[in-house]
């Protein structure tokens, strides 16, 4: 995904979708592949990010003196930050192609997606930017030379949206982290694009500390991609999320309404994290296809081993011992 060819393939590949009513049954292999990819549910975080990105891109369209306003997507691990980022990037890419036509956009790359490498230095981060568009980098090139090549190529490719993931890996308190933060600031001022960052709980990291952190905080709006609450006033957003996922299942014997009724249990299993929930339902659906039951039950869900973070959170309640049970 962190190359233009990979992102373009992702953006232009039709999203997974359940079969329309009345269509012939899909084969087992087709349905296994479908549940492996599965649908992306439009969450409030995706909606908020899409709306804000569109607004900021228009706001900064004619801003040439200073860096354009930016966004930071934050939240716990498994909360759907990267999914939200990529879905908005896909929408931006497709909108650009529809607006200008495939022929006119040949050679253009409206969206860039870059991962911050672990313990990133300014040079290794600049190399990641270069790698995305296939800019040649030799061992003898300096950081300044790589940065100049990146700015020139990104401008020529008409990059409009730059998405930087794993931003929590940057620590401006260290020498290399400070240099990397300075590089990003330099890129935001030299590339005419809107920058969107995503990272784990960035407000609790050193990212917003010191002079460099203050500069970032003064330019970036924050979108919190938090875990889903089981209840929010009169609404039940987590149950609504489960209902949307259940409606996308392609299982012949699954009873609609089964999963929403298990909402309290599913929230406890996943701590409200969309990543853990999606994995649990997808894995249970694949299990149901392989064992021939073609339906998901609580027994099916209980047998699934989830990610370690979710398993650590989940503490199943032990059944109370019957008063009539005798002790030997």
User: What local confidence, expressed as pLDDT, does residue 87 receive?
Assistant: 93
pLDDT for res 171: 87
Nearest CA to 303 among 277, 278, 279, 284? 284
Question: What radius of gyration do the chain's Cα atoms show?
Answer: 23
**Angstrom distance (rounded) from CA 310 to CA 79:** 12
pLDDT at 325: 46
> Which among 220, 309, 224 has a CA at the least distance from the CA of 271?
309
d(CA 184, CA 189): 9
Give 128-173 pLDDT, tens digit per residue. Answer: 999 999 999 999 999 999 999 999 999 999 999 999 999 999 888 8
pLDDT tens digits, 99-114: 888 776 788 999 999 9
Crossing angle for the helix pair 175-190 and 122-132, nearest 10 degrees? 40
Mean pLDDT within 172-201: 91
Structure confidence at residue 261 (pLDDT): 96
**Per-chain mean pLDDT for the chain:** 88
Beta strands in 191-297 (DSSP E): 194-200, 220-224
- Do the Cβ atoms of 282 and 35 come closer than 8 Å? yes
Residue 86's pLDDT is what?
A: 93
Across the range 80-98, mean pLDDT stands at 92
Q: Which helix (H) or strand (E) segment is 72 a member of?
A: strand 70-75
* Mean pLDDT, rounded, for 88-94: 94
Per-residue pLDDT, 211 = 80
What pLDDT is attached to residue 65? 65
What does the pLDDT read at residue 43? 85
State how far the Cα of 175 lies from the Cα of 215, in Å rounded to an integer.
17
Alpha helices in 74-142 (DSSP H): 81-100, 122-132
Compare 318 and 225 and report the one with higher pLDDT: 225
Looking at the predicted structure, is the pLDDT value of residue 67 above 80?
no
pLDDT 10s digits, 290-321 = 999 999 999 999 999 887 667 777 666 644 54
Question: What are the strands of the beta sheet with 161-165, ordered from one edge?
Answer: 111-115, 161-165, 194-200, 70-75, 220-224
- At residue 319, the pLDDT reads 46
328 pLDDT higher than 70:
no
The reported pLDDT for the residue numbered 322 is 47
- Residue 153's pLDDT is 97
pTM of the model: 0.86
């Amino acid at each position: 995904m962190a190359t233009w060819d990979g992102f373009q393939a992702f953006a232009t590949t039709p999203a997974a979708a359940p079969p329309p009513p009345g269509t012939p049954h899909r084969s087992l292999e087709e349905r296994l592949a479908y549940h492996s990819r599965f649908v992306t549910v439009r969450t409030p975080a995706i909606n908020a990010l899409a709306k804000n990105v569109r607004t900021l891109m228009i706001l900064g369209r004619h801003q040439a003196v200073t860096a354009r306003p930016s966004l930071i997507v934050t939240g716990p691990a498994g909360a759907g930050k990267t999914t939200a980022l990529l879905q908005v990037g896909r929408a931006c890419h497709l909108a650009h192609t529809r607006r200008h036509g495939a022929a006119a956009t040949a050679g253009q790359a409206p969206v860039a997606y870059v991962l911050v490498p672990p313990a990133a230095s300014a040079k290794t981060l600049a190399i990641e930017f270069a790698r995305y568009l296939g800019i040649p980098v030799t061992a003898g090139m300096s950081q300044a030379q790589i940065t100049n090549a990146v700015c020139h190529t990104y401008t020529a490719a008409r990059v409009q949206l730059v998405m930087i993931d794993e931003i929590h890996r940057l620590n401006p308190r260290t020498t290399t982290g400070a240099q990397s933060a300075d590089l990003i600031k330099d890129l935001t001022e030299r590339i005419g694009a809107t920058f969107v960052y995503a990272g784990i709980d960035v407000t609790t990291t050193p990212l917003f500390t010191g002079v460099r952190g203050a500069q970032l905080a003064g330019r970036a709006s924050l979108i919190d991609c938090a875990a889903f609450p089981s209840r929010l006033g009169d609404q039940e957003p987590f149950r609504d999320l489960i209902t949307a996922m259940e409606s996308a299942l392609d299982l012949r014997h699954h009873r609609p309404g089964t999963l929403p009724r298990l909402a309290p249990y599913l929230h406890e299993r996943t701590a409200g994290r969309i990543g853990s929930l999606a994995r649990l339902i997808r894995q249970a659906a694949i299990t149901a296809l392989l064992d021939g039951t073609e339906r998901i039950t609580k027994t099916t869900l209980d047998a699934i081993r989830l990610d370690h973070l979710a398993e650590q959170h989940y503490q199943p309640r032990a059944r109370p011992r019957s008063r009539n049970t005798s002790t030997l």
